[in-house]
Amino acid sequence: MILYLIGGLGADERVFKDLKLNCETKSIKWIELLRNESLSSYATRLVSQINQNEKFGILGVSFGGIVAIELAKICKPEKLILVSSIETDDQLPLKYLDYLKIALLKLTPDAYIKPPRFVLGYLFGAKNKKLLYQIINDTNPKFIKWALLQIVTWKNQSNQFKPFRIHGSNDKLIPLKGQAIQIENGGHFMIVDKASEISKIINEYLEALFDRD
């Protein structure tokens, strides 16, 4: 089985560099946005990067988890894994759902959409701040603004495929709601900072499924 990996908000395959998974993996690349594109339309265009002629799973991190759920509605993976993400829209902190803030977000110039570094460091709880800053610096502000709007307006109350969730107990950006395997003291950037622990959990999960099959 191939496990397709989707990084967070603009994050590329660099966030997966320290994962040691006992299966074939392939990173899904972010693509250029179309004018006024919806999340479902964007996910539909990402499907071309997935080989549906063989068994596959999808692992999504943060915003990538939301995209993974939208992909799962289209291409039906065998397994769906969410890391530092949400399963339904009501698991998003209420402070993000204030429509006044959505309006302000739309009015914010692209050049000012990226928070200061000290704010990013705090919210992500990142130990590897250098990599976090590199990723944010390399991400197109227009994509960040679009993705933030997709997050705060996303509507999803049920999933055909019950995701396997892994979440940090100290995630300040998206505090845990609902059921998940908890990583003690894990922050929002734990896919990097706690890659070894997360790898072990995913490998054990996949091995148990293979044994059951």
pLDDT tens, position by position, 127-176: 766 776 677 777 788 888 888 888 888 999 877 778 999 999 999 889 99
How far apart CA 192 and CA 55 sit, in angstroms, is 26
Number of domains the chain is built from: 1
CB atoms within 10 A of CB 32: 10
**Residue appearing with tokens 């603004």:** 145
Bridge pairing between strands 79-83 and 164-168: parallel
Identify residue 135 by its one-letter amino acid code: I
How far apart CA 73 and CA 81 sit, in angstroms, is 14
pLDDT tens, position by position, 35-53: 999 999 999 999 999 999 9
User: Quick one: pLDDT at residue 16?
Assistant: 95
Task: Give residue 168's domain range.
Answer: 2-212
The four Cα atoms 69, 74, 75, 76 give a dihedral, to 10 degrees, of 60
Pick from 66, 172, 155, 152: nearest CA to 108? 152
Tokens of 60: 């999504």
Q: In sequence order, what are the residues at sequence separation of 6 or more whose Cβ sits closer than 8 angstroms to the Cβ of residue 162?
A: 80
Q: What is the CATH number of the domain that holds 156?
A: 3.40.50.1820
pLDDT tens, position by position, 53-106: 999 999 999 999 999 999 999 998 999 999 999 999 989 886 565 654 666 566
Q: Is 165 exposed, middle or buried (0-12, 13-18, 19+ CB in 10 A)?
A: buried
